[in-house]
Amino acid sequence: MESEINSLEHHGLNRCWDVGLPGYLRYVGLGVLRYNLHGSGRELLARQRAESARVCLAA
């Protein structure tokens, strides 16, 4: 859990500028969305690298 919090802080989500519960909930939702998009991007890059390696080995 600590590594996920650190990841969010490292990517600029270390301060909550929104005031009140609705702003806080929006802020948390955007942080979760950012984390999920980052993970999806890593997965897509890993698949792309694997495909490139497979093509290079086949040639």
Query: Averaged over 47-56, what is the pLDDT?
Result: 88
d(CA 20, CA 10): 24
Closest CA to 34 of 17, 10, 55, 50: 10
* pTM strictly above 0.75: no
Rounded to 5°, the CA angle 58-40-27 comes to 165
- Cβ(7)–Cβ(35) under 8 Å? yes
Q: What is the pLDDT of residue 28?
A: 83
pLDDT (tens digit per residue) in 6-46: 776 776 666 666 678 888 888 888 888 988 999 999 999 99
Q: What is the pLDDT of residue 27?
A: 80
Closest CA to 31 of 6, 58, 8: 8
- The domain limits of the chain are 2-8+18-58
